[in-house]
Amino acid sequence: MTGSKSSFSDLLSDWERDGFFVIKELLSQDDLILLRAQLFAIRNTARVQTGVRRVVVGSSQSPIIEKISGLAFTEGKFRDVAMSDKIKRLLKLIYPQSDGHLFRDVVVVKPARSGCRLSAHQDSAYWPVKPTNLCSFWIALTDIKQENSPLVLIPGSHKRGVLPHSIWLFDRIKFPKTFLRVLMAVNARAGVGDNYQITGTGGVLSRVKLTLMGRLSRLSKLFFRLTDLAVSSEETSGAIQLHLTAGDAVVFHSCLVHGSTPNTSDVERIAAIFSYMPSESTIKGSLISDFPKL
Ligand SMILES: O=C(O)CCC(=O)C(=O)O
């Protein structure tokens, strides 16, 4: 499904009713060229710049996902886009009374043929940020059709509050609740939202988390699944797929239930995600004054 909306009042009514809206051509062709060039340079350098993290999950023959975070927190085109006037204007629509602060940025690469599914979840289930009203700009850097791992969204699900989530191992075995609680507490201390160096205590726990996602996942995808929370299947009825052209964006609420399908195509699928929160937000009880303000 695609949608093209122009007026701010249309976008606002989509936001309130569905918990998301689509912006066609948020990025120009020039923007795309510059972003892809920066990404190419990072992915082809053994040592990435300070503040940027690159994790490849799965074996080298069959990687299932790659995540590059911190690009919008450092100089360069990703930061320019994340802090752009276009995004600022849209954020004003969502947070009319507040400034938007950048909370998280990540580029998600789903490798050709082996890119994995991500279970249906709400981002606010992962993030200890209150109130639970963040929003994410999910920007297609490649064309995304049915076979390229589109986002799957459940319109209106943002109105359900933060739902219970579980971890499923081998798609069948539910991870015990007590362990899940411990895992989530450790996860929050390690840092959340992909920018662990900012949101976590840093050091050992963040490194363990990265090891779990990166190195251990080469032994078994099970380790990666430990980081993949899911709502129950009853919460996913009415799901729609979003097919986008490179440069289009979907902006969605942090309580919107969403996931993505595997990449069965012969090309990589790449999306840049920038997430924002209003000034009055707190992370684990602390105010967010250190996070970049737009
Ligand atoms: O890019 C994707 O496939 C989904 C990403 C996602 O769901 C997330 O980062 O919360």
pLDDT in tens, 208-232: 666 666 666 666 666 667 777 889 9
The finding on whether 250 has its CB within 6 A of some atom of ligand 1 is no
Residue 202: pLDDT above 70?
A: no
Per the rule left: phi > 0, alpha: psi between -120 and 50, beta: everything else, 221 is: alpha
The CA–CA distances, whole Å, from 70 to 1, 174, 225 equal 30, 32, 23
C-alpha to C-alpha distance for 138 and 273, rounded to whole angstroms: 4
Residue 192: pLDDT above 70?
A: no
**Ligand 1 mean position, distance from CA 200 (Å):** 20
What is the set of domains in the chain, with CATH numbers? 8-280 (2.60.120.620)
Average pLDDT over residues 159-163: 96
DSSP one-letter code for 116: P
The finding on whether 54 has its CB within 6 A of some atom of ligand 1 is no
C-alpha to C-alpha distance for 275 and 137, rounded to whole angstroms: 6
Q: Are 38 and 49 in contact (CB under 8 A)?
A: no
- CB count in 10 Å sphere of residue 80: 13
pTM, two decimals, is: 0.90
Mean pLDDT value across the chain: 87
**Ligand 1 mean position, distance from CA 118 (Å):** 7
The finding on whether 271 has its CB within 6 A of some atom of ligand 1 is yes
- The residue whose C-alpha atom lies closest to atom 3 belonging to ligand 1 is 260
Of the pLDDT bands very low, low, confident and very high (cuts 50, 70, 90), residue 276 is: very high
Which atom of ligand 1 has the smallest separation from the CA of 65? 3
